[in-house]
Amino acid sequence: MLASTMGGMKVSATLAINQELLARRQAGQPVLPMGFGEVGLPVHPRLRHALAEHAGRNGYGPVAGVDELRTAAAGYWARRGLPTDPAQVVAGPGSKALLYAVLLAAEADVALPAPSWVSYAAQATLAGRRVWHVPVEPGQGGAPDPARLAAMLAEASAAGEAPRVLVLTVADNPTGRVVSTATVAAIAALAEAHDLLILSDEIYADLPHDPDTVVPSPAWFAPERTVVTTGLSKSLAVGGWRTGVARFPAGARGEALRDRVLTIASEIWSAAPLPVQHVAADAFAEPVELRQRILASARLHGQVAASAAARLRTVGALLPDPQAGFYVYPDFAELAEPLARRGITDAAGLSRWLVDQHGLGSVPAPEFEGPVDALRVRFTTSMLYGESDTERLASLQADDPLALPWISAQLDRFSEALDDLLGSP
């Protein structure tokens, strides 16, 4: 049974590239860590102190999470136009575990935007579910093109298949784009018509580069059929603390799904780490100093991602401006000829060349889109902020972080690798 669902699966592509770069670094070789989606920023002192304060809490606590966290998360969502009862909230050891639990609990095949985060398809496969990739509209990210979604649903239904879960990522990884409100509304209407459950991964929602960007939640439009997940790994750079929350729809259907997720949680992680839950309760209450930290991070991510995008365009890669988070997803389609002269004919070959020749990490398109003949790779820009906490704090505080020597040196190395890739062999 295990062999059939895990056939061909391997360690998650992003973690694998992280391990490879780590080994290269330990061997004294230069690396440019643009593969793994981690945030190289220091833990805010308020969070450090809160963790120390709660370190003595060593009980398991309730499966759904402590009241303090569920109440704070409910307030966080209410401030984003989603009135929430704490009973609708479940805490977990990272939003990744919660996403998997929801996919398991939903017991249905899964529609995914192409591209979308690597783990959704892998998790659906682990859950024994079929994945349907649906392309996003040009320039959008994190949600499928509604017309193509409708066509896919019709095709599936004609074949007697029924994908009943749709995952959206608002704002998106890998494209760094924020889907338009109109597209989200159109998708919500389709979800209604086809009885889809929407799983909206909003872990990057607090990181728009321009704070005025609207980051639309599908739960605004289809509250009775949307589960929202988020966490602190990206906004507050505490990925290693493993903390996340899910918001289930109000009403009988949402409660039934939540109860199934609680059953799964009780058999897999029991409860999220208790001291971290208390820190997360403080963070989701959004004290002003943490809000300011998140705003400063988003600004820094925006400046560095925009520079990486500009450097990619200089060599002829195509990509829309990144709008949120810390990823760029360029298309090298126009550069197929010079790449072929390097012996590179697909995205995996491109990623491999960059890591072998320059220690430059990236993740190739098929990880995000399924089998696809495309010269696209994702670069992460959030690990370029310095080698020490002192440098990283200075990066956060700088008016012009691109002028800091440690950031400009990394971005220049990125350009050198791209120039070398596309120059004469």
Interface residues toward ligand PLP, by CB under 6 A: 37, 94-96, 117, 169, 173, 201, 203, 231, 233, 239, 244
Residues 35 and 25: their CA atoms lie apart, in Å, by: 14
Give me the amino acid identity at 244.
G
Q: How far apart are CA 405 and CA 388, in angstroms?
A: 13
Residue 100 or 353 with smaller CB distance to ligand PLP? 100
- The reply to whether omega before 78 is within 30° of 0 (cis) is no
d(CA 279, CA 243): 10
Is cis: bond before 115, omega within 30 of 0?
A: yes
Q: How far is the CB of 420 from ligand PLP (least distance, A)?
A: 29
**CA distance to 8, 106, 110, 114, 193, per residue, from 154 (Å):** 29, 21, 15, 18, 12
The residue (of 65 and 344) whose beta carbon lies closer to ligand PLP is 65
For ligand PLP, the closer CB: 112 or 344:
112
- Surface-to-core class of residue 292, CB atoms within 10 Å of its CB (0-12 exposed, 13-18 middle, 19+ buried): exposed
Residue whose CB is less far from ligand PLP, 120 or 353: 120
Helices (H), 195-287: 252-268, 274-284
Minimum distance of ligand PLP from residue 37's CB (angstroms): 4
Give the count of beta carbons closer than 10 Å to the beta carbon of residue 126. Answer: 16
| Residue 267 exposed, middle or buried by CB count within 10 Å (0-12, 13-18, 19+) | exposed
Give the pair of three-digit tokens for residue 371.
Answer: 């089998």
**In the complex with ligand PLP, which residue's Cβ is closer, 113 or 358?**
113
Cα distance between residue 336 and residue 374, in whole Å: 10
CB nearer ligand PLP, residue 203 or residue 411:
203
Shortest distance in whole angstroms from residue 120 CB to ligand PLP: 8
Of 217 and 233, nearer to ligand PLP (C-beta) is: 233
Q: Are strands 226-231 and 244-247 parallel, antiparallel or unpaired?
A: antiparallel
Among the listed residues 199, 244, 310, the one whose alpha carbon sits nearest the alpha carbon of residue 76: 244
Give the nearer residue to ligand PLP in terms of CB position, either 95 or 381: 95
- Say whether 136 sits in a helix, a strand or coil: coil
> Is the dihedral angle over the CA atoms 331, 305, 142, 263 positive or is it negative?
positive
Q: In what order do the strands lie in the sheet with 327-328?
A: 327-328, 377-380, 363-364
Residue among 88 and 229 whose Cβ is closer to ligand PLP: 229
Distance of alpha carbon 177 from alpha carbon 142, whole angstroms: 7
C-beta of 330 vs 344, nearer to ligand PLP: 330
Closest approach of ligand PLP to the CB of residue 142, in Å: 9
Closest residue to bound ligand PLP by CB: 94
Looking at the Cβ atoms of 62 and 92, the one nearer to ligand PLP is 92
Q: Degrees (nearest 5) of the Cα angle 220, 223, 226?
A: 105
